[in-house]
Amino acid sequence: MNEPLAERVRPKSLEDYISQGHLVGEKGILTNHIKQGILPSLIFWGPPGIGKTTLANIIASTSERPFFTLSAISSGVKDVRDIIEQAKKGKGLFTTKNPILFIDEIHRFSKSQQDSLLGAVEKGWVTLIGATTENPSFEVIPALLSRCQVYILNSFDKSDLILLLKKAIKKDSILSQKKIRLKETDALLQVSGGDARKLLNIFELIVGNKNSITLTDKLVLEKVQKNTIRYDKTGEQHYDIISAFIKSIRGSDPNGAIYWLARMIEGGEDLKFIARRLLIAASEDIGNANPTALILANNTFQAVSSIGYPEARIILSQCAIYLANSPKSNASYLAIKNAQDVVKKTGNLSIPLHLRNAPTKLMKDLDYGKNYKYAHDYLDNFIPQEFLPNEISKMKLYEPGKNAREEKFREELKKRWGNKYDY
């Protein structure tokens, strides 16, 4: 039997489905939809190998609907129209419920392909379920997105993945005949990166034809190194390589950045996926140490979106090298992280009266906006006043980075604010 382990143990019911309790738990929103027999068009957004396809299959079988499937990687507009015609003809023959059309990797559909779905979704010929690893706000056209509910599938945690392994060992027709001991699992979980399909594929590779095996970290690393998995833009090493790419840029190594960029280009990675990561790196890892980096990254995104392969590789290379060579600062990233942590801990602190808007007479009578000092009325467009809630007025959320540009920020803040910004 050549069917891989991941297929053999694929859950067939919601009871067997691991994780995503917010969607398919006892009080999950999808559970309620299925019980009520009402199923809107959906888009599942989450990392690879967390069960998006499996969940679509379970929904179809549980709700007793005809199920059609397409892969955005290999299907064109004609394929979409053919499936829609089949769905229209089949509707009413066996059930009054809308057929489900499942599209894997829907973010890879072009605008024209997505446009071809609109009529069928709008008229109820099909209920669309799309699966994507990319933010649908960027990759799904607004007209289609507005007709779908977007549900986020969370990454598996360690306990979910170990439970998955134990279920496979116990229930799989082949593994259940073997003597398998899970002595150490850290390396296996690490190399799988939270991808359940990858986890099961590697586990099956390691077990092989052995009738008895004890899983250790050493054994896993030896086996994985001997059987390196080729770059797969649809999942396997997708996130590992983009991680190596970003870390090379963060580490100011243009050689590393270009090498991992080449790996992605040769693997046929989506241009906009790479360009978006460059945009994030320009802000998260460089920030105000060199604000031009964000401008260049944004121009890169616009350029490669217009040009495409093969010339776009040169633009990506230029941007990656520039970002790798730029001075680094994560001060902006840390500042918003610190501020969010404070908000979560302190809740909705009262807004000082002098900062409040006062569009009505009543609000003015209640002193909204009173004593606010308009900065432009003062020398150098600055006058000291408090802009934080009273309870956290002495808190410092922003720490300038240690680079030439932000050192100037530091000097200006001390000059203006004195001890308030005395770092």
The DSSP code sequence of 93-153 is TS-SSPPEEEEETGGGS-HHHHHHHHHHHHTTS-EEEEEESS-HHHHS-HHHHTTSEEEEP
Interacting residues of 333 by C-beta distance below 8 A, sequence separation 6+: 283, 284, 285, 287
Spell out the alpha helix ranges (H) of 282-330. 292-307, 312-325
- Residue in the structure block whose two tokens are 């909705």: 348
Distance between CA atoms of 108 and 95, rounded to whole angstroms?
A: 31
Domains 20-152 and 158-226 share a fold: no
Residue (of 105, 98, 97) closest to 130 by Cα position: 105
The fold of 20-152 is: Rossmann fold (3.40.50)
Where do the structural domains in the chain lie, given as residue ranges?
Answer: 20-152, 158-226, 238-325, 350-421
Which amino acid, 262?
A
Q: How many CB atoms lie within 10 A of CB 11?
A: 16
Give the model's pLDDT for residue 229.
47
Q: Output the pLDDT for position 161.
A: 92
In angstroms, the CA 52 to CA 170 distance is 23
Which of 1.10.645.10, 1.20.272.10, 1.10.8.100, 2.40.50.100 would CATH assign to domain 238-325? 1.20.272.10
Domain spanning 158-226 has what CATH number?
A: 1.10.8
Whether the Cβ atoms of residue 210 and residue 175 lie closer than 8 Å to each other = no
pLDDT tens-digit profile, the chain (423 residues)? 578 898 999 998 888 888 888 898 888 888 888 888 788 899 999 888 889 999 999 998 888 888 888 887 777 788 888 888 887 776 544 455 788 999 988 988 888 889 888 988 988 889 999 999 888 887 889 999 999 999 999 888 899 999 999 999 999 989 999 999 999 999 898 888 788 888 998 999 899 888 999 999 999 888 876 655 444 554 546 777 898 999 999 999 999 999 999 999 988 888 988 999 999 999 999 999 999 999 999 999 999 989 888 899 999 999 999 999 999 999 999 999 999 999 988 878 888 888 888 777 776 777 777 888 888 988 988 999 889 898 888 888 898 989 999 999 989 888 888 888 876
- The helix, strand and coil proportions of the chain, stated in percent and rounded to the nearest 5, come to 55, 10, 35
